[in-house]
Each structure stands twice: as structure tokens, then as C-alpha cells.
Amino acid sequence: MAEKYPSDSSAIRRFDEVNVARLGLISIQERIPPDYTSWTIDFQIDGRQARLSCVAVAEHGGVPHGLDNDVSLALITLYQEAGYPEDGTIVTTAYRILSLIGWDTSGHYYQALKESLDRLTTATFTASEAWHSNKRWTTVKFRYIDHLEYTSEDSSLGLSGQSVLKIRLAREIVDSIRARYIKSLDLEFLTSLDRPLTRALYRLLDVQRVSPDGAEVTQFRTNIIEWAKACKIVDQTPTRVRRTLEGAHRELIERGYLSDVEYVGRGSQQEVIYTFAKQPSIREEAREVVERLAGYGVTRPVVYSLIASYNLAHIEERIARFEAILQAGYAPRNRAGFLVDVIRDDEGKYVDPEGFVSRSRRVRSETARLRQVEMARQEEERKQQQMDAEWESLDAKERASKAIRVLSLVMGKQLPTRYYSGLLEAFESGRMNPREVTEAALKAQISLRLATFIQELMRTLDGLG
């Protein structure tokens, strides 16, 4: 099941770490009792007894659960985007994490993110003879997040869109990823699912879809109680388990990932049988359309659904309209989702860009495009004004302190300690602009040019001395 990860960031394919996905460290339930602070499950691997346990604290909401699945996967993806650093440390923003997993970036989800990070930082997992490492089963004890630092922009000391986070993943997870114990993951499909429980169940099921020798599995069968344990469902009575999973099963069937879910037997002896949807045969003339849709990030189940629902001429015309809208300047947040919406639109929601159909439609399209561009410009201007106001509200010493706080997270010990005092003095004296240096550092980190930036910064500081 292990795969090779790309050495070039431009060749990134999304993946999941197999131990994390297979063991299901995080309960799929969206809500748990406040006193649910630990669990232990016993099972067998290759005929040997194994055990997995979690111990958490009530202060942070009990064991990791629900939305924590999304956050845990986002951290693996960000580690991948960072180029697989050996020490497992990633520097990112709260806004980036929420955007990556499709959460709303303007509301209470920043608090939900903080609570999730707190649980992943404080809960302790123990996998006894259950963690795959160096081609054998080992015992490990770890926290998903080994170290967490972040900046706060308000008096509540919480997270906001401007918060910078420095996160170090567990050594065990990092070593496993670097040893290529990973599996491909359709992140676009996962984030398109409506409920956190469905996304978590999909992650658990997807690791079962491929056998250890790499062959595709068409059906997965398991005892309902054992499956409840794997899902970390609190109430494991069969009727309650079925009720808990019902909505997720329905969504995965409707989305074309599963073709059927069946229960066989009674009581605690019954089994749940998952039948994965087969990849439909695509006629030769449709293959080019399939590849074009996939090239824009449309997931395979959705592609097959579109091919089955619409004729090729309709899809090709809508792809052309979608591309024309992009060329006209519109930049959708989710291109794959926008393309699917354009194809499925039967209410005239999307007007034709200039030159695509009639003159009247072209005029209306241009008006709509300008409106969209103006709205985007105004939103960007609003955000810029908010950031300007936040900086302007600070005096020189406060600006300098804020900049040093963020820069220490971004650069850490890569910038020798003696330079930080020089930076602080340069900021407070006005010889260097704290905001400009901070923003330049963040851009350098994102573009993987931080080392070059640090060298240039040291030369500048040496020149000021």
C-alpha cells in the first residue's frame, strides 16, 4: 500500500498516512458526551493481539472527534505542501487551514479550529503492536500534535484570520510519511461531502478499498460491533450504530462512492457489508471529456455521474462556457465545484461570456463579470483596510512586538538569536518597517524561499549595525 511521494512540489498528489487512516484515531461522531475522555479497543492484526487507546481531558471537550478528522487531515496535507520537513514542523495560518478543509472563514469556525487543535495537542494515543513501522508492528505512544504555537490578534487570545501557527506533527506520523507508508486520497471529493461524519467514514472506508498487495477491493465486510469500535462510536448497541451511520451511508451512496450497504444477521453478531461502486466503463468518444473534467479536479464519481446524466455535446458546451468565464476574469474559490454547477445549471444561472452566444447574452455576461470582479475587489479592499487598521491602532513599540512575535514563529532558530534584538531596535527606531518585514517573511515561507530571505535580512541588519 505504500507509495512514493513526489520530490517536486509541483507534482503533489494528495495522500493520507495509512496508520492514521486505518486505525481511525478520531471518533467519527460529531458530538460526544462531555465525560467521554478515553477509549480502548482490542483487535487482531495478522493473527496477533493488538490494542489502541486514547486518553484526553474534559477541559478540551473529551477525546478527538467530529471536525477533528478534517483538521488532522489538513495538517497532513500542509506537511506535504511544506515539502516533508524532517522535523515535522509546518508554519501556516488559521485562514489557510479553514480554507483547505472547506470551512467558513468568517465566523465561529476559528474557535472550532482552536478547540480541535487543543484536543489534538493534549490527547495521548497508544497503539500497542498496532503501528506499522519498518515492515513490522510496533508499539508507540504519541500526541497527534507534538508542539503548537500561534499568534492572537484579539483580547480573547483566540484564533483569527491573521493568526500564524507553528505546528510540529508527531514524530511517529512524520517518520511514517517519510517512509512512504501512505495512500492516495481524493481530497476534493472528501471536502465536498456535507457532514463531518460522512467525511470521517469515507476516510476509514477508503483505506479498506485497496488490499495490502495493491489490488482493488470491491466489497468490505465486518462485524457491526467491531466496526463501531473502529469508528469510535460511543453507544455500540447495534441499533444505535446503524442509526449513527445511516446518514453517512445515504450520502456516500448518493455521491456514487458506495453502491450498497447491507446488514446481515441479528444483534451483536450481525455484519455490515459495504459494496464499493464500480468504475463504469467509459465509451471511447467520452474519454477526452472525462480527462478534461478530471483535469479541473472533478472527482471520478462525479465525472461518471455527469457522463451518465448528460450527453457529451451538453457537457462540452458547458466546459467551454466555464473556460470562457474563467478567461473573462472570474476566479471561483472551488473550480471543480463551479464547473459541476455550470454543467448542471438548468435555470440560466450562469450567463455566457462575451462572444459565446448572442450579443444580448454577451452584454449581460460582461455586466455580471464586472460586478463579480468589483465585489472581489471590494472584499479584498475591506480585508486590506482591516489589516491596515489593526496595524495603525498600535504604537511603535506594539508594532515592533507584534512583528517579532510573528517572525519568531516563522523563522525560529534559523535566524540567530542576536539578530532579534537588532530587529526590535530597528523596528522601534523606524529604520525598518515591522509590517513590511513580517509580510515579506510570510511570503518567503509560503514560496519556500525562507532561507534566502533570512540571509538577506541578516545582511541588512549587519549593514544597519
The single-letter code of the amino acid at 300 is R
Handedness of CA 451, 456, 457, 458 (dihedral sign): positive
* Beta-carbon contacts of residue 465 (< 8 Å; ≥ 6 apart): 422
Q: How confident is the model at residue 141 (pLDDT cuts 50, 70, 90)?
A: very high
The yes-or-no verdict on residue 352 having pLDDT over 80 is no
Least confident of 63-77, 262-276, 303-317, 431-445: 303-317
The single-letter code of the amino acid at 396 is A
Q: Which 8-state DSSP code applies to residue 193? A: S
Do 165 and 150 form a contact (C-beta atoms < 8 A)? yes
Q: What is the mean pLDDT of residues 329-354?
A: 83
pTM of this structure: 0.65
Q: What's the pLDDT score for residue 365?
A: 59
Q: What's the pLDDT score for residue 313?
A: 84
Q: What's the pLDDT score for residue 359?
A: 40
Q: How far is C-alpha 96 from the chain's CA centre?
A: 9
Query: Please, what's the b/e burial string for 222-257 (b: 16 or more CB within 10 A of its CB; e: otherwise)?
Result: ebbbbbbbbbbbbebebeebbebbeebbebbeebbb
Q: What's the pLDDT score for residue 356?
A: 63
Q: What is the mean pLDDT of residues 41-48?
A: 87
The yes-or-no verdict on residue 430 having pLDDT over 80 is yes
Mean per-residue pLDDT of the chain:
86
The model's pLDDT over 406-419, given as tens digits with 9 standing for 90+, comes to 899 889 889 998 88
Rounded to an integer, what distance in angstroms lies between the CA atom of residue 304 and that of residue 327? 26
Rounded to an integer, what distance in angstroms lies between the CA atom of residue 411 and that of residue 393? 25
CA-wise closest residue to 75 among 29, 38, 25, 128: 25
Q: What's the pLDDT score for residue 148?
A: 96
The model's pLDDT over 368-391, given as tens digits with 9 standing for 90+, comes to 777 777 777 777 778 777 877 777
Q: What's the pLDDT score for residue 328?
A: 83
